Amino acid sequence: MKSGRCLSCENKYGGLQMLWWQVQWTWKYRIKRQPYDEAAQIYLTRDFLRMSSTAWDALEAPEKQEMLDKELWIEEKQKVSIQDNLILRGSTAGPGGVLALHVLCL
């Protein structure tokens, strides 16, 4: 405790920050139905692609723009992207008779 703050206090502060972020998101985008700003578009695109902020930051600007141009924060565009990039791996079913499907989002 060099800083004079306890670890549980820091955890509570982080939890409060997350709660505040969720309240703001709900108010702005779900209740007021405002269009997504650029930060929200990036967040939703990264979430859809299951990409960390570190991985996103490592991309070159043209790659980021290409993904944003696909408008993957819009649910209908996500469905189209999945359908466009669906690849069947192998011609036979895997264990349990389940056909292996892999979604490539890029």
The sign of the CA dihedral 77, 81, 84, 88 is negative
The neighbour count for residue 103, using CB atoms within 10 Å, is 11
**In the chain, where the domains are located:** 1-34
**Element (H or E) spanning 12, and its range?**
helix 7-25
pTM over 0.85: no
For 24-82, write each residue's pLDDT tens digit.
999 999 999 999 999 999 999 999 999 999 999 999 999 999 999 999 999 999 888 88
